[in-house]
Structure 1
Amino acid sequence: MAAPFVEEIQSRWPMAALPDAAALERLARNSPEQLAGVRVVITNGSTGLSAAQMDALPALRLVCSYGAGYENINLAAADARGVAVTHAPGVNNATVADHALALMLACARGLPALDRAVKAGHWLAHRMARPAVHGKRLGIVGMGNIGALIARRAAAFDMEIAYTTRGARPELPYRHVPDVLELARASDYLVLACPGGAATRHLVNAAVLEALGSKGFLVNIARGSVVDTAALMQALERRTIAGAALDVIEDEPALPPGAALLDTLILTPHISGRSPEAQLAQHEVLLANLAAHFAGGPLRHALA
C-alpha cells in the first residue's frame, strides 16, 4: 500500500497499525494480547487470512481485501465466525488488460532483449525478424471482466480470439473451447486471466505447454499458482515454447532458478493492476468500507 494511503488511514483511524508480514508474524507469536482488540484486517488475495489467523483475533469483525482477489481468505471460516469480508472488484480491470497486451507485445517482439542489445552497441546483429501479433490466434483462459477487456483490445489487432471457461458466454463474439489443452493447441498466444486458488493450481502444466508449441507464447496476469513453474522453466530452456511474459510467479518475489538467464522470459513485479487511477479507486472502496463498518452502515462488495 502506497505511503500516502497508509498515512490517510492512520489519520482517520489513529489506532490503525499496518505492519509488514514479518512484523505480523512476530506479533501473533509474542503479543497475543495486542491482537485481542483487532476488529479489522486489511489484506489481499495473495496474502489472505486463514482460519488459524482469525482464531488469534477474537474481536475480528471485518476483513477487507485490498483489491479484487480474495482466493486465500478463508470465507467459510469468516462466515462461521460472523466476520464480514469485502473486496474491490473491477477497479483495476482496464489496467490489468492494458498490461496483458503490453506483455504480449513485449515477448512477441523481444523488446527487453532488443533494448539491452542496442544500448550495448549491437544494432545490426539483432535486426532479425520477430513474430507479429496482428492476425494471430489468441487463447484466453478465463473470460471474466478482465478476460473480456483483453479480448476487446486484441480485436483491435485483428486477432482470432478463443477462450476457455467452465461455461460459455454466448453473448460474446468469441469461440468457446472446452478445455485449456485444446485452447493451447489452437493458440499462438495463451493469456491467463483466470482466478487463482486450488481449482486452477497448475492448470498450465507440461502438457499444456507442449500443446502451445515452439512458436507459442504464454502470458500470465492471473496468479502465479496457475502455472507449474518447474514445467515452464523446462519448456523455456528446451525451447518447447517460444517465450513467456509473467506478471506473477509462484513463491513471488523469489525467482525460479535460472530465470535471470533466459532472454525468452519477461518478468514484471506483480504490477499489472497498478496505475494511479486503479490504486486510488481501490483505496476509495477500502475507505468506504472502513467508514461503513465503524458507523454500522452497509458494506460495498461484501463476500461474506
Structure 2
Amino acid sequence: MAKPAILRAAKLSDQTNAELEAAFEVHDLPSDATRASAMLDEVGPQLRGIALRKTVVDAALLDRLPGLEIISSYSAGLENVDIDTARSRGIEIANTSHILAEEVANLALGQILGVTRDIHNADRYVRDGKWPDAPYPLQVSLQGMEVGIVGFGQIGQAVARRLEAVGASVSYSGPRRKPVDLPYHATPLELAQACRIVVLTCPLTPETRGIADARFFEAIGPGGWVVNISRGAILDEAALIDVLSRDAIAGAALDVFAEEPEVPEALKRDPRVLLTPHIGSGTTQTRQRMGDAMVDALVARLGTDTPPDR
C-alpha cells in the first residue's frame, strides 16, 4: 500500500523528520517561489496533508492542493493559516497548543516574578558590587495582587493555575465567558483597569492585533506591568516605549516582538523591561512532544501502515 503523500513546510527535529518519512511520502516545499510552483504543479493534487510551522497557507496555496485533508501545525498560533477557507473546504486543522501550554505558562510565571521582584536587576546589583553599600530595595508580592489574563484558552488557564498557587487574585477577558469561577471582564481595557499586571495569552487575529495600546497601558497605570507571551503584534511597541518614557507604567516582560528577532533599542536599553527571545515552549522535551503531536494528527487523519516508533 502506497504511503499517503504530504507536504513538509517546516524545519523540524531529526526525530520528527524521521517519523514523517517513515509514515508518509514526504515532499518538501522549496523556499524559492518558482521551484515551489513547479513542484506543486507536479505533485500538488496528490498531497493529502501539510506538516506546517510558519509557512503561510493562504487560499492560493490551498487551490493548488485539491486533495488536502489536514493541516497539522507544529506551533500553537495559526495566524499564518487561512482558517476560514480551509474549514470551508472540509480541511482539518490541528495545532499543538495543548502540548506547549504548560511550558509557556511556566515561562509566564517566571516573567511575572521577574518583574515584580525585579530579579534581573537584582542580579546585576550583585554583579556590579553594589550589595555591600546598601540592601536591595523592597519589591512587590504576588500574594493578593490582582492579575489579569487576556485570552483564556489552554495557555491562559495554565497561567491562572500557577498564579492562584502563589496567592494572586486572577481575572480574565476573552470573546466569551468560560465555565470557571473567576471574575470576567468583557474587554481587555476593562481588565487592565482592574488589574496591576496583565498577561497577554490570546491568539493573534484581526481583532486582537494591537489591543495592548496606549489606552491599555494607561489603564494598567504607573504601578503595574504587562507581560506578553503570545504574539508580538498584539502589543503596540511604540505605545509601550512612550508610556515607559513618561513613567506611566512600571515595566514589562516580553517574550515575543513585532519584528522578531529585531527588538527596538529603547526596549533593550530600559532596565524595567525583561526580554527573552521567544522561548515560551523552548525546552527539548516540549519541542519534541510538539513534533510528536504534529505527526500523530497526520497519522490519525490519513492513516499509515507505519505508525511512529517511540
Tell me the TM-score normalized by structure 1: 0.84
> Do the aligned partners of residues 18 and 264 (structure 1) sit closer, same or farther apart at CA in structure 2, a change above 3 Å counting?
farther
Q: Aligned AA for 1:165?
A: G
| 2:59 matched residue in structure 1 | 51
- Find out whether 1:223 has 2:231 as its counterpart: yes
2:51 counterpart SS class: strand
1:102 counterpart SS class: helix
Q: 1:1-304 to 2 correspondence within 5 Å?
A: 3-9=13-19, 11-12=21-22, 16=26, 24=31, 26=32, 28-36=33-41, 37-38=43-44, 39=47, 40-44=49-53, 47-55=55-63, 60-79=68-87, 83-123=91-131, 124=133, 127-169=136-178, 171-295=179-303
Greater alpha carbon shift after TM alignment, 29-38 vs 212-221: 29-38
Q: Give the drift of 1:239.
A: 1.6
**C-alpha separation between the residues in 2 aligned to 1:71 and 1:234?**
27
Q: Give the drift of 1:16.
A: 3.5
Q: Give the drift of 1:58.
A: 6.0
Greater alpha carbon shift after TM alignment, 6-15 vs 189-198: 6-15
Q: Aligned AA for 2:282?
A: R
**C-alpha separation between the residues in 1 aligned to 2:91 and 2:186?**
37
Q: Aligned AA for 1:237?
A: S
**C-alpha separation between the residues in 1 aligned to 2:253 and 2:154?**
21
> Do the aligned partners of residues 217 and 51 (structure 1) sit closer, same or farther apart at CA in structure 2, a change above 3 Å counting?
same
**C-alpha separation between the residues in 1 aligned to 2:66 and 2:135?**
61
Count of residues paired in the alignment: 290
> Is there any run of 5+ residues in structure 1 with no aligned partner, and where?
298-304
1:200 counterpart SS class: coil
**C-alpha separation between the residues in 2 aligned to 1:11 and 1:296?**
11
> Do the aligned partners of residues 73 and 128 (structure 1) sit closer, same or farther apart at CA in structure 2, a change above 3 Å counting?
same
Greater alpha carbon shift after TM alignment, 76-85 vs 199-208: 76-85
Q: What CA RMSD, in Å, does the superposition of the two structures yield over aligned residues?
A: 2.6
1:92 counterpart SS class: helix
Aligned partners of 1:213 and 1:240 also within 8 Å? yes
**C-alpha separation between the residues in 2 aligned to 1:59 and 1:173?**
44
Q: Give the drift of 1:114.
A: 2.2
**C-alpha separation between the residues in 2 aligned to 1:292 and 1:145?**
22
> Do the aligned partners of residues 82 and 110 (structure 1) sit closer, same or farther apart at CA in structure 2, a change above 3 Å counting?
same
Aligned partners of 1:90 and 1:145 also within 8 Å? yes
Q: Give the drift of 1:178.
A: 2.2
> Do the aligned partners of residues 237 and 62 (structure 1) sit closer, same or farther apart at CA in structure 2, a change above 3 Å counting?
same
1:35 counterpart SS class: helix
**C-alpha separation between the residues in 2 aligned to 1:295 and 1:14?**
9
Tell me the TM-score normalized by structure 2: 0.83
Q: Percent identity?
A: 30
